[in-house]
Amino acid sequence: MRALMFVALTLTSGAVLAMGTQPLANEELLKPVNTLFDAMRSHDEAALLAQFAPMAQLQRVTADGLIKTSDVQKFANSIATSQAYLDEQLLAVKVQQHGNLANVWTPFAFYLDNKLSHCGVNNFVLIKSEQGWKIQYLIDVTFEGDCQAFIAEH
């Protein structure tokens, strides 16, 4: 019995330590994602653009399953010139990484002037370059149902 408890405690302690180091390992990787949304809140076009790799793509899956592509520069300009307070809140962040390639999957809730506007899921593909982690590809989809229920689920 003692041996079984020792093994269980050892495994549990290792799992807790591993979970504890995961956020620190992802902090650098998530910096462009977090900075992107900070730049949106402050309408900072230059800071927003700096999070993207030179040939980055920005897309949205429409309700009918089509792909709408947006120009990153035009997106940044629209954020910079908006008079509204733009606040995208990430609900649950899942990160996968291998070497210089990472994927960040995150449900979100978007607030326009502090009112819930829409919700959905972002999928970021990031690459690590000489300048650090950059967003190479961002695709999102909006949720067509009750956003309050969506938020509660995530």
Q: What is the pLDDT of residues 64-93, one digit of tens each?
A: 999 999 999 999 999 999 999 999 999 999
> What's the token pair of residue 71?
């120009």
Q: Could you give the CA distance from residue 112 to residue 3 in angstroms, rounded to a whole number?
A: 57
> What's the token pair of residue 115?
């009112």
Could you report the per-residue pLDDT of 129-151, keeping only the tens digit for each?
999 999 999 999 999 999 999 99
Predicted confidence band of residue 26 (pLDDT cuts 50, 70, 90): confident
Could you report the per-residue pLDDT of 5-24, keeping only the tens digit for each?
333 333 333 333 333 434 55
Q: Is the pLDDT of residue 116 over 50?
A: yes
Q: Is the pLDDT of residue 53 over 80?
A: yes
- pTM check: above 0.95: no
- Topology of 28-153 in CATH? Nuclear Transport Factor 2; Chain: A, (3.10.450)
Pair 48, 2: CB distance under 8 Å: no
Q: How far is CA 9 from CA 1, 4, 5, in A?
A: 12, 9, 6
Q: Is the pLDDT of residue 108 over 60?
A: yes
- Distance between start and end Cα atoms, the chain: 39
List, in order, residues 6 or more apart from 106 with CB less than 8 Å away: 33, 90, 91, 92, 93, 94, 121, 122, 124
Among candidate residues 132, 140, 127, the one with its CA nearest the CA of residue 37: 140
